[in-house]
């Protein structure tokens, strides 16, 4: 242990110092947050600073990242400190690193050689954190803090690049980023998990929950569930945002009902499994994410939610054990079921919705505002419609590109995850093993159980027993 001391600290302090320098050179406030620039533009901007319109939804997403992901992962009985604590560190780290990498990548387009900060950018940075935290779920309990920081550095870069490819080259839609965040994060994490697999993992007796840790986990689940409409709608505005909120709300509701039904159905005694309720109930939020602002109709959203709940619950019951035992892909939080497969479903639903989008059901401005690549490519026709010329894609072509973006996303995720996994296996990064798996105590000072107790002799050796009524009973030392 003594060897480890300082390693994490030094890496964090160096990276943080670099962040300060980069912000000093290249970051500035956005116009609406800049005292001089703001005063030079119309005061009417006031109501449109993004704070009023976007900040409440940003805060909902913020809660999803820090409470949602953080507490969802506290289900492990001896790993709560790392789950919620390291979640905080990773997210705080990525908020900065994601802002920087996104900013620098888009610097060539900047009029003043700086990238500009506003509430919308805070939302984007939180999205980057979500991506890494999904991957974290796949390797939870099996990685050191240092490994997770290194993983964050690499994954954020690939996430930003992949998203840019999807949006700017393939010109696809993905309002809730179910492809770019959920599918990407899941398959990146699973690839890392595959490389880090050891037999120790299956032998560990510490992977599992206790009654209270499952309740802590439900805090995470429910905040994720409630605020998911803000996740899918936060980056949109007007009727797009309104529709994204409605579709996500109903998709989640339907997904939850189906999850309970299937969870009970696949159990021999008809009992519910808390793992399903904690996770599969959320799959509806993922699965509707790509098409949430499209004209999928309320029943379409509900149907997507139903399929997602079924798929995800079945995944936890049958696919996760299969992946672990046959493919040596151990998925601690089952991110394949909550983010991976529902992310693919989202991509497919988005492709179908895109292939069905016509002037009939979107109107002229609606269609071309939604799918800019479908604007006719010749100047005159586009001009008559009131738009700059686009790529003239057909509905089917747009649907095809949605699929291409999905496939490329998964490809980059798996490739990037495999490479990252091999890097993380370097001895320097202190991959935990044996008794250190699924256990906080290598990384945290753990309070003793809090109650004075005694050792007693049992047939199996000495056992330490806390005396829960100690203070009002006897005085043990």
Q: Footprint of its own copies on residues 429-448 (CB under 8 A)?
A: 435, 439, 441-448
Which is closer to its own copies, CB of 363 or CB of 411?
363
- Per CB under 8 A, which region of 194-202, 320-328, 412-420, 455-463 contacts its own copies? 455-463
- Per CB under 8 A, which region of 14-22, 158-166, 170-178, 419-427 contacts its own copies? 14-22
Residues 87, 100: Cα–Cα separation, whole Å:
20
338 makes contact with its own copies (CB under 8 A): no
Residues 313, 343: Cα–Cα separation, whole Å:
15
* Locus of tokens 């609406």: 32
Q: Tell me the closest approach of the beta carbon of residue 450 to its own copies, in angstroms.
A: 3
**Exposed/middle/buried for 36, CB within 10 Å: 0-12, 13-18, 19+?**
exposed
Which is closer to its own copies, CB of 388 or CB of 471?
471
Closest C-alpha to 284, from 225, 244, 223: 225
Which is closer to its own copies, CB of 284 or CB of 417?
284
In the 8-state DSSP scheme, what is residue 291? T
* Residues between 372 and 431 that touch its own copies (CB under 8 A): none
165 makes contact with its own copies (CB under 8 A): no
Which neighbouring-strand residues pair with 455?
464
Residues touching its own copies, count (CB under 8 A): 168
What are the residues whose beta carbons fall under 8 Å from the beta carbon of 109, sequence distance 6 or more? Answer: none
- Per CB under 8 A, which region of 172-180, 247-255, 402-410, 411-419 contacts its own copies? 247-255
- Per CB under 8 A, which region of 131-139, 338-346, 406-414, 468-476 contacts its own copies? 468-476
Closest C-alpha to 197, from 428, 415, 417, 416: 417
62 makes contact with its own copies (CB under 8 A): yes
* Element of type H or E holding 458: strand 453-458
> Which member of 249, 371, 401, 429 binds its own copies (CB under 8 A)?
249
> Which member of 159, 187, 250, 371 binds its own copies (CB under 8 A)?
250
Which alpha helices (H) appear in 106-118, and where do they start and end? Answer: none
Kind of pairing, strands 453-458 and 461-466? antiparallel
423: three-class secondary structure by DSSP: helix
**Exposed/middle/buried for 104, CB within 10 Å: 0-12, 13-18, 19+?**
middle
173 makes contact with its own copies (CB under 8 A): no
Which is closer to its own copies, CB of 187 or CB of 443?
443
Kind of pairing, strands 115-117 and 27-29? parallel
107 makes contact with its own copies (CB under 8 A): no
Kind of pairing, strands 461-466 and 115-117? unpaired
> Which member of 363, 383, 386, 411 binds its own copies (CB under 8 A)?
363
Q: Tell me the closest approach of the beta carbon of residue 128 to its own copies, in angstroms.
A: 12
Which is closer to its own copies, CB of 365 or CB of 411?
365
33 makes contact with its own copies (CB under 8 A): yes
* Residues between 185 and 224 that touch its own copies (CB under 8 A): 205-206, 208-216, 218-219, 222-223
79's tokens: 């790993």
* Residues between 267 and 286 that touch its own copies (CB under 8 A): 267-274, 277, 281
Q: Tell me the closest approach of the beta carbon of residue 153 to its own copies, in angstroms.
A: 13
**Exposed/middle/buried for 6, CB within 10 Å: 0-12, 13-18, 19+?**
exposed
């Amino acid at each position: 242990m003594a060897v480890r001391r300082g390693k994490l600290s030094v890496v964090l302090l160096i990276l943080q110092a670099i962040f300060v320098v980069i912000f000093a050179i290249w970051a500035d406030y956005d116009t609406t947050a800049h005292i001089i620039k703001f005063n030079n533009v119309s005061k009417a901007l006031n109501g449109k600073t993004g704070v009023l319109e976007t900040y409440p939804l940003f805060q909902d997403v913020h809660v999803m990242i820090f409470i949602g992901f953080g507490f969802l992962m506290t289900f492990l009985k001896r790993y709560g400190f790392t789950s919620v604590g390291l979640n905080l560190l990773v997210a705080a780290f990525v908020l900065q690193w994601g802002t920087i990498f996104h900013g620098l990548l888009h610097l060539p387009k900047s009029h003043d050689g700086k990238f500009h900060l506003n509430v919308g950018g805070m939302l984007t940075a939180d999205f980057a954190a979500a991506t890494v935290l999904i991957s974290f779920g796949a390797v939870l309990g099996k990685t050191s803090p240092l490994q997770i920081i290194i993983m964050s550095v690499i994954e954020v870069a690939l996430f930003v690049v992949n998203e840019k490819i999807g949006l700017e080259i393939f010109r696809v839609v993905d309002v809730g980023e179910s492809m770019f965040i959920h599918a990407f994060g899941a398959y990146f994490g699973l690839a890392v998990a595959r490389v880090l697999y050891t037999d120790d993992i299956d032998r560990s007796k510490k992977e599992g929950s206790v009654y209270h840790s499952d309740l802590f986990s439900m805090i995470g689940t429910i905040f994720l569930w409630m605020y998911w409409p803000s996740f899918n709608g936060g980056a949109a505005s007007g009727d797009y945002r309104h529709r994204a909120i409605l579709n996500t709300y109903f998709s989640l509701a339907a997904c939850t009902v189906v999850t309970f039904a299937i969870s009970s159905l696949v159990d021999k005694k008809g009992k519910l499994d808390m793992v399903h309720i904690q996770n599969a109930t959320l799959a509806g939020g993922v699965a509707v994410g790509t098409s949430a602002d499209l004209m999928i109709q309320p029943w379409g959203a509900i149907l997507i939610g139903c399929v997602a709940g079924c798929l995800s619950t079945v995944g936890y019951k049958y696919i996760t054990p299969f992946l672990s035992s046959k493919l040596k892909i151990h998925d601690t939080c089952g991110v394949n079921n909550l983010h991976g497969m529902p992310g693919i479903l989202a991509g497919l639903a988005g492709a179908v919705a895109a292939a069905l989008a016509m002037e009939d059901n979107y109107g002229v401005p609606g269609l071309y505002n939604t799918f800019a690549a479908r604007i006719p490519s010749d100047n005159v026709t586009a001009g008559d419609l009131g738009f700059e010329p686009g790529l003239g894609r057909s509905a089917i072509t747009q649907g095809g590109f949605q699929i291409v973006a999905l496939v490329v996303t998964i490809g980059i995720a798996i490739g990037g995850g495999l490479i990252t996994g091999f890097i993380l296996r370097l001895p320097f990064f202190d991959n935990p093993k044996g008794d250190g798996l699924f256990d906080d105590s290598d990384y945290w000072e753990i309070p003793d159980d809090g109650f004075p107790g005694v050792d007693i002799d049992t047939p199996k050796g000495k056992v330490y027993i806390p005396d829960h009524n100690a203070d009002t009973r006897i005085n043990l030392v």
